[in-house]
Structure 1
Amino acid sequence: MALTGLQIRLPDWRAGVLERWLEAERDALVLWLPVALGAGIAAWFVLPDRADWIGWMLASGGVAAAGLVLAGGTRAGRVLLVGGLTAALGCALVWWRAERVAAPVLARPAVVAFSGVVERIEPLPARDLTRLTLATEAASGLPPRVRVNLADGDMPAGLTRGARIALRARLMPPAGAAVPGAHDFARVAWFARIGATGRGFAPVTIVTPGEAAGSDLRQRLSQHVRSRLPGSEGAVAASLATGDQGAIPETDAEAMRRSGLAHLLSVSGLHITAVVAATMVVVLRLLALSPWLALNLRLPLVAAGAGAVAAIGYTWLTGAEVPTLRSCIAALLVLAAVMLGREAITLRLVAVGALLVLLLWPEALVGASFQLSFAAVTAIVALHEHQRVRAFFASRDEDWGRRALRSLASLLLTGLAVEAVLMPIALFHFHKAGLYGALANIVAIPLTTFVIMPLEALALSLDAVGFGAPFWWLCGKALALLLWIARTTADAPGAVAALPMMPRGAFGLMVGGGIWVLLWRTPVRWVGVAPVLAGAGWALATPAPDLIVTGDGRHLAVRMDDAQLAVLRERAGDYVRDLLAEGGGADGELPAIDDMRQARCNADLCLARITRGGRTWRVLATRSSYHLDIADLTAACRRADVVVSERRLPRTCRPRWLKLDGVTLRTSGGVAVSFAPLLVRRVADDHGSHPWVRPPAVMPPRGRENDQPRPGPHGKTVR
Structure 2
Amino acid sequence: MARAVALPRRWQPAIEFGLADWQGWLSRGASREIDQRRLFPWLAVCFGAGILLFFQAEGRPALWAPLSGLALFAGFAAAFRSRPAALAVCVGAAMVFAGFAAGALRSRAVEAPVLSRIVIAPMSGFIEAVEDRPAGKRLLLRLVDLKGTSEVDRPRRVRVTLRKGEGLVAGQFISAQARLLPPPQPAWPGGYDFGRDAYYRGVGAVGSILGPVKTLDPPAPPPWRLRLAAAVDEARNILTQRIAAAIEGPAGGVGAALVTGKRGLIPEATNDVLRAAGIYHIVSISGLHMVLAAGTFFWLARALLSLVPTLALMWPVKKMAAVTAMAGATGYCVFSGADVATIRSLIMTLVMFGAVLVDRPALSVRNLAIAAIVVLAREPEALLGPSFQMSFGAVAALAAFVPLLQWGRFEGRSNGRLETALRWLGRHAVGLVTTTLVASIATAPFAAYHFQTLNPYGLVGNALALPLVSLVVMPSAVLGVLTYPFGLDRPVWQMMGAAVSQVLDVSGWVGGFGGSSVVIPALGLGALALFSLALLVAAIFASALRWLAVVPALAGLALAAAPARPDIYVDRDGQGAAIRNAAGRLTFVGKTSAFVAEQWLRADGDGRDAADVNSAAASAKDGARCDPEGCVVESVDRRNIAFVQKASAFEEDCRRAEIIITRLKAPTLPCAALLVLDREALAVRGATTIRLGADSIEIRSVRKGDETVARTTAATRPPVPAARPARAVPEQDIPEDDRPEPDPSHDDFSSDGPG
Q: Could you say if the C-alpha distance between residues 605 and 514 of structure 1 is closer, same or farther in structure 2, counting changes exceeding 3 Å?
A: same
Which residue, 640, 644, 652 being the options, matches 2:657?
A: 640
Are residue 435 (structure 1) and residue 456 (structure 2) matched? yes
In the aligned structure 1, how far is the partner of 2:706 from the partner of 2:54? 11
Describe the SS at the equivalent of 1:167.
strand
Q: Contact 1:37/1:86 (CA < 8 Å) preserved in 2?
A: yes
Which residue, 31, 35, 52 being the options, matches 1:23?
A: 31
Residue in structure 1 matched with residue 44 of structure 2 by the alignment: 34
Which residue, 89, 92, 101 being the options, matches 2:101?
A: 92
Describe the SS at the equivalent of 2:405.
helix
Describe the SS at the equivalent of 1:476.
helix
In the aligned structure 2, how far is the partner of 1:377 from the partner of 1:393? 25
In the aligned structure 2, how far is the partner of 1:581 from the partner of 1:121? 32
Residue in structure 1 matched with residue 399 of structure 2 by the alignment: 381
Q: Contact 1:648/1:662 (CA < 8 Å) preserved in 2?
A: yes
In the aligned structure 1, how far is the partner of 2:605 from the partner of 2:278? 18
> What is the one-letter code of the residue matched to 1:201?
L
Which residue, 499, 523, 530 being the options, matches 2:551?
A: 530
Q: CA offsets per residue over residues 542-570 of structure 1, 9 Å max, x none? A: 3322221111111222233444333225x
Residue in structure 2 matched with residue 707 of structure 1 by the alignment: none
Q: Could you say if the C-alpha distance between residues 417 and 496 of structure 1 is closer, same or farther in structure 2, counting changes exceeding 3 Å?
A: same
Describe the SS at the equivalent of 1:105.
coil
Q: Could you say if the C-alpha distance between residues 61 and 429 of structure 1 is closer, same or farther in structure 2, counting changes exceeding 3 Å?
A: farther
Q: CA offsets per residue over residues 128-157 of structure 1, 9 Å max, x none? A: 23222323249852424132323232x262
Deviates more, 1:520-529 or 1:408-417: 408-417
| TM-score in terms of structure 2 length | 0.81
> What is the one-letter code of the residue matched to 2:639?
W
> What is the one-letter code of the residue matched to 1:73?
S
Residue in structure 1 matched with residue 191 of structure 2 by the alignment: 182
Residue in structure 2 matched with residue 10 of structure 1 by the alignment: none
Q: Could you say if the C-alpha distance between residues 192 and 460 of structure 1 is closer, same or farther in structure 2, counting changes exceeding 3 Å?
A: closer
> What is the one-letter code of the residue matched to 2:644?
T
Residue in structure 2 matched with residue 662 of structure 1 by the alignment: 679
Are residue 683 (structure 1) and residue 728 (structure 2) matched? no
Residue in structure 2 matched with residue 313 of structure 1 by the alignment: 331
Describe the SS at the equivalent of 1:119.
strand
In the aligned structure 2, how far is the partner of 1:511 from the partner of 1:16? 27
Residue in structure 2 matched with residue 548 of structure 1 by the alignment: 569
Matches for 1:442-461 after TM superposition, within 5 Å: 442-459=463-480, 461=482
Residue in structure 1 matched with residue 154 of structure 2 by the alignment: 143
| TM-score in terms of structure 1 length | 0.85
Residue in structure 1 matched with residue 120 of structure 2 by the alignment: 111
Residue 255 (structure 1) shift = 3.0
Which residue, 535, 541, 553 being the options, matches 1:514?
A: 535
Which residue, 473, 482, 492 being the options, matches 2:503?
A: 482
Q: Could you say if the C-alpha distance between residues 418 and 586 of structure 1 is closer, same or farther in structure 2, counting changes exceeding 3 Å?
A: same
Q: Contact 1:156/1:206 (CA < 8 Å) preserved in 2?
A: no
Q: Contact 2:119/2:180 (CA < 8 Å) preserved in 1?
A: yes
Q: Contact 2:575/2:592 (CA < 8 Å) preserved in 1?
A: no
Residue in structure 2 matched with residue 303 of structure 1 by the alignment: 321
Q: Could you say if the C-alpha distance between residues 66 and 431 of structure 1 is closer, same or farther in structure 2, counting changes exceeding 3 Å?
A: farther
Q: Contact 2:376/2:382 (CA < 8 Å) preserved in 1?
A: yes
Gaps of 5+ in 1: 1-12, 689-710
> What is the one-letter code of the residue matched to 1:550?
D
Residue 283 (structure 1) shift = 2.4
Residue in structure 1 matched with residue 6 of structure 2 by the alignment: none
Residue 304 (structure 1) shift = 1.8
Describe the SS at the equivalent of 1:39.
helix
Residue in structure 1 matched with residue 515 of structure 2 by the alignment: 494
Residue 215 (structure 1) shift = 7.6
Seq. identity, %:
28
> What is the one-letter code of the residue matched to 1:408?
A
Q: CA offsets per residue over residues 433-453 of structure 1, 9 Å max, x none? A: 222222321222222111222
Residue in structure 2 matched with residue 3 of structure 1 by the alignment: none
Residue 588 (structure 1) shift = 3.1
Residue in structure 1 matched with residue 89 of structure 2 by the alignment: 80
In the aligned structure 2, how far is the partner of 1:62 from the partner of 1:655? 55
Q: Contact 2:468/2:503 (CA < 8 Å) preserved in 1?
A: yes
Describe the SS at the equivalent of 1:684.
coil
Residue in structure 2 matched with residue 649 of structure 1 by the alignment: 666
Are residue 586 (structure 1) and residue 606 (structure 2) matched? yes
Q: Could you say if the C-alpha distance between residues 609 and 478 of structure 1 is closer, same or farther in structure 2, counting changes exceeding 3 Å?
A: same
Q: CA offsets per residue over residues 92-132 of structure 1, 9 Å max, x none? A: 22122212322222221111212222222233x13423222
Q: Could you say if the C-alpha distance between residues 537 and 161 of structure 1 is closer, same or farther in structure 2, counting changes exceeding 3 Å?
A: same
Deviates more, 1:678-687 or 1:96-105: 678-687
Are residue 611 (structure 1) and residue 636 (structure 2) matched? yes
Residue in structure 2 matched with residue 397 of structure 1 by the alignment: 413
Q: CA offsets per residue over residues 672-694 of structure 1, 9 Å max, x none? A: 22335643322224599xxxxxx
Deviates more, 1:224-233 or 1:650-659: 650-659
Deviates more, 1:504-513 or 1:48-57: 48-57
Describe the SS at the equivalent of 2:134.
helix
Matches for 1:688-699 after TM superposition, within 5 Å: none
In the aligned structure 1, how far is the partner of 2:183 from the partner of 2:143? 16
Q: CA offsets per residue over residues 370-419 of structure 1, 9 Å max, x none? A: 111111111112223x3x43754885435343443343222222222211
Q: Could you say if the C-alpha distance between residues 270 and 80 of structure 1 is closer, same or farther in structure 2, counting changes exceeding 3 Å?
A: same
Deviates more, 1:592-601 or 1:638-647: 592-601
Are residue 161 (structure 1) and residue 170 (structure 2) matched? yes
Q: Contact 2:159/2:203 (CA < 8 Å) preserved in 1?
A: no
Q: Could you say if the C-alpha distance between residues 131 and 397 of structure 1 is closer, same or farther in structure 2, counting changes exceeding 3 Å?
A: farther
Q: Could you say if the C-alpha distance between residues 436 and 58 of structure 1 is closer, same or farther in structure 2, counting changes exceeding 3 Å?
A: farther
Gaps of 5+ in 2: 1-20, 708-731, 741-755
Q: Contact 1:143/1:196 (CA < 8 Å) preserved in 2?
A: no
How many residue pairs were aligned? 670
Q: Contact 2:135/2:163 (CA < 8 Å) preserved in 1?
A: no
Residue in structure 1 matched with residue 365 of structure 2 by the alignment: 347
Deviates more, 1:511-520 or 1:462-471: 462-471
In the aligned structure 2, how far is the partner of 1:103 from the partner of 1:85? 30
Which residue, 545, 566, 579 being the options, matches 2:587?
A: 566
Q: Contact 2:393/2:442 (CA < 8 Å) preserved in 1?
A: yes
Residue in structure 1 matched with residue 717 of structure 2 by the alignment: none
Q: Contact 2:61/2:104 (CA < 8 Å) preserved in 1?
A: no
In the aligned structure 2, how far is the partner of 1:548 from the partner of 1:54? 40
Q: Contact 2:174/2:214 (CA < 8 Å) preserved in 1?
A: yes
Q: Could you say if the C-alpha distance between residues 280 and 17 of structure 1 is closer, same or farther in structure 2, counting changes exceeding 3 Å?
A: closer
In the aligned structure 2, how far is the partner of 1:336 from the partner of 1:72? 29
In the aligned structure 1, how far is the partner of 2:660 from the partner of 2:739? 21
Q: Contact 2:476/2:496 (CA < 8 Å) preserved in 1?
A: yes
In the aligned structure 2, how far is the partner of 1:647 from the partner of 1:93? 42
Matches for 1:259-274 after TM superposition, within 5 Å: 259-274=277-292
Q: Contact 2:161/2:207 (CA < 8 Å) preserved in 1?
A: no
Residue 514 (structure 1) shift = 1.7
Are residue 200 (structure 1) and residue 209 (structure 2) matched? yes
Residue 622 (structure 1) shift = 3.3
In the aligned structure 2, how far is the partner of 1:100 from the partner of 1:463? 38
In the aligned structure 2, how far is the partner of 1:207 from the partner of 1:93? 41
Residue 35 (structure 1) shift = 0.8
